[in-house]
Structure 1
Amino acid sequence: MTGTSSSKKADRKTRVTVLVALAANLVIAVAKAVGGIFAASPALLSEAAHSVADSLNEVFLLAALHRSRRPADRRHPFGYGKERFFWSLLAAVGIFVMGGCFSFFQGIEALRNGAEETHSGYVAGLIVLGVAFIAEGASLIRALYQVRRQGRGMDGLRDPALRTVVAEDGTAVLGVTLAMIGMALHMVTGQVVWEASASLTIGALLVYVAYRLGREARDQLIGEAADPESSGRIRALLDAQPEIDSVEALFTMKMGLDSVLVAARVDLMPGMDSERVEEVAVRIKRSIAGTVAEADQIFLDVTDRPAAEVRESPAATGERGGA
């Protein structure tokens, strides 16, 4: 119950972080779009597309937070935890299509057709980008603060929703910086190639971030194993049980942010009756759940190894055989 309570508390904090990012991106998207049209700035319009993509992604992440906490039912006996990974994958696709591709389009169009900007247009665009930098920076600080409070170092980014917000805000701060540099160089030199290059660089950055986020979400969707530390602790616990002769197989899979399925096939020492076998299995399951809090689905395939097989096994001449 304590784990569930702490998970819900962490979800509430993540929801606030996503809402802060959504509010910032909506305001900034409108400001960038108006400023980009007024200034005829390809870099500013690319950043507007970036903010629109981020706003839509925040909606996806809010859906992920809500839908992934639904209780298990007959159609989904293991719960809906993987919804978190699915919506995070959609957010990555949104960054790629709406942000990256539009930024490439703006950069190429600027190189082909050029762009004429007035002095007032430059000033308006730089002011908009300056405000955007402050807003995006504040949102990023909020997200990083939650990461620090929620986990040890990068472990706090195991939540795909929080990881996506940090990636979006970090990319937004860098993108705004690139747009400001491109616009300033365009104003000084009169060469649109600087803004076009900034737009293309922003596009490349967004495509890279979308690829990284999408790859992580894909791995989790198709059945990623629990982290090596948790798997190692489970195997060590099984090996330490005096009733277990050998651990034939151990499988783990993440079913959600704080849900792990554990399936193990073990051979027991010979001579135990069915009642004893059941007691041992129950005790081992409880020990695994106590060792790895996320292990809420535990399955044991228990077999009682024949005594003749144990005598013939090389291990029978060792310490256990002597016992």
Structure 2
Amino acid sequence: MSAGGSTKAILAALFANAGIAVSKFVGFLITGSSSMLAESVHSVADTSNQGLLLLGQKTSLRKATRQHPFGFGRDRYFYSFIVALMLFTLGSAFALYEGFHKLQHPEPLTSPIVAVIILVVAIGLETYSFHTAIVESRKVKGDVSWWGFIRQSRTPELPVVLLEDAGALFGLVFALFGVGLATVTGDPVWDSVGTLMIGVLLGVIAIVLIIEMKSLLIGEGATDKELEDIVHELESGEQVQRVIHIRTQYLGPEELLVAAKIALRPGLELADVARAIDKAELSVRSVVPAAKLIYLEPDLDRVGKTASAPTES
């Protein structure tokens, strides 16, 4: 897909988080709430993360060089991986530390109503950002579930923003829960409990993102549907008997490498072989536009089976 949709979601999250971070920090200075401090650091981390995602999009557009002949498309995976690490260290680790610290040394809140107002406004802004991410993701999600989209998407920014925004929304609810109970009961321990809940939430989200971004960074192949379409198009050619074996790998979110050995009908002239390969490449790109690099090795069908399904390992 084009990076336009993910860029729109990133910018919406960037502006929302920047404003929220300032308001939360002001709220912390007024109330002394550990939940507000944890959420302030969380929003600062999210704002920085969106900047990193935009940087990754920009650097991934660099032209290929002799040292990097396949280009820099994986820059987007690299910066998304850094985002996941930052979410874990600056978000989760800090919130857990602050929560345990305030649990051992609880301090009463001052002007908690200020924190409540700020959190309610922040929930509204974060809802707007989350809605934008959902709208842009639906354009490319297809029929898979949201969890399936996060697991299968080869475009890293949208799953990152989706999970970040979801974490931010739930984090705000947890902060509101902690501040609210601390105000109602007069016991500041509840503020610490809300902070710990935020830390655990961000830790879970960060671990999911780290696992997914690591998988993309080291190289993932085409999805099952894409692989099925590629094989079907290759084998639909008049001169192609079957696909002997095939390997695919995403070099970036919008650039798929396809390497396959195909069995051609015996007795073809060299010119016919070249035309068959050219036609096969065009046919594959018509159904899987991301397949920008296609390398086909012609061979003879020495096995004689035309119905065997190629697999990737």
TM-score, normalised via structure 2 length: 0.89
Compute the displacement of 1:69 (Å).
2.3
2:297 partner SS: strand
Q: Distance in 2 between matches of 1:67 and 1:156?
A: 25
- What SS does structure 2 have at the residue aligned with 1:69? coil
Is the CA contact (8 Å cut-off) linking 1:148 and 1:156 kept in structure 2?
Answer: no
The one-letter code matched in structure 2 to 1:133 is: I
1:295 corresponds to: 291
Q: Which of the numbers 191, 194, 197 marks the counterpart of 1:198?
A: 194
In structure 2, what is the equivalent of residue 320 of structure 1?
none
2:71 equivalent among 58, 79, 94: 79
The match for 2:103 is 111
3-state SS of paired residue (1:295): coil
Pick closer, same or farther for the CA change 1:36–1:88 going to 2, 3 Å: same
Listed as ranges, the gaps of 5+ residues in structure 2 are 307-313
1:90 Cα offset (Å): 0.7
Deviates more, 1:146-155 or 1:72-81: 146-155
Instruction: Give distance in 1, aligned partners of 2:252 and 2:291.
Output: 11
Structure 1, residues 88-131: CA drift from partner, whole Å, max 9, x if none? Answer: 1111111000000010011100111111223x2x1111111112
Q: How many residues align?
A: 300
Q: Distance in 1 between matches of 2:42 and 2:168?
A: 8
The letter for the 2-side match of 1:160 is: P
- Cα distance in 1 for partners of 2:139, 2:221 equals 25
Name the SS for the 2:63 alignment partner.
coil
> How far did 1:243 drift?
2.6
- Counterparts of 1:47-66 in structure 2 under 5 Å? 47-66=39-58
Equivalent runs, 1:136-151 vs 2, <5 Å: 136-151=126-141
Q: Say if 1:233 and 1:291, in contact at 8 Å, map to a contact too.
A: yes
Q: Secondary structure at the match of 1:253?
A: strand
**Given the alignment of the two structures, is residue 94 of structure 1 paired with residue 93 of structure 2, yes or no?**
no
* Paired position in structure 2 for 1:132: 122
Partners of 2:247 and 2:205 in 1: CA distance: 31
SS at match of 2:122: helix
Q: How many Å separate the matches in 2 of 1:181 and 1:116?
A: 16
The question of 1:168 aligning with 2:164 is answered yes
Instruction: Give a deviation string over 1:30-79, Cα, whole Å, max 9, x none.
Output: 22122113211111111111101101101101102212223323232222
What does residue 309 of structure 2 align with?
none
- The Cα shift of 1:174 comes to 0.9
Q: Is 1:259 aligned to residue 255 of structure 2?
A: yes
The amino acid across from 1:254 in the alignment is: Y
AA partner of residue 55 (structure 1): T
RMSD (Å), alpha carbons: 2.1
Cα-to-partner distance string for 1:193-246 (whole Å, 9 max, x where unaligned) = 322111111111101111111211111111101110010111122333343344
Residue identity matched to 2:202: L
Identity of aligned residues (%): 32
Equivalent-residue separation in structure 1 for 2:174 and 2:230 (angstroms) = 47
Helix, strand or coil at the partner of 2:109: coil
Do 1:254 and 1:261's aligned partners in 2 also have CA atoms closer than 8 Å? yes
| Structure richer in helix, relative to its length | 1
d(CA) in 2 for partners of 1:29, 1:82: 30
1:315–1:211 Cα change, 3 Å: closer
Which letter maps to 2:40? A
Matches within 5 A, 1:12-51: 12-51=4-43
State how far apart, in whole Å, the 2-side matches of 1:79 and 1:152 are: 28
How big is the shift at 1:151? 4.6
Within the alignment, does 1:234 sit opposite 2:226 as a pair?
A: no
Give the Cα–Cα distance (whole angstroms) in 2 for the partners of residues 23 and 246 of structure 1: 52
CA contact (8 A) 2:109 2:188 kept: no
Superposed structure 1 runs of 4+ greater than 6 Å apart: none
TM-score, normalised to structure 1, is 0.86
AA aligned opposite 1:134: G
1:28 alignment partner AA: I
2:279 alignment partner, one of 266, 278, 283: 283
Distance 2:126 2:137 in 1: 17
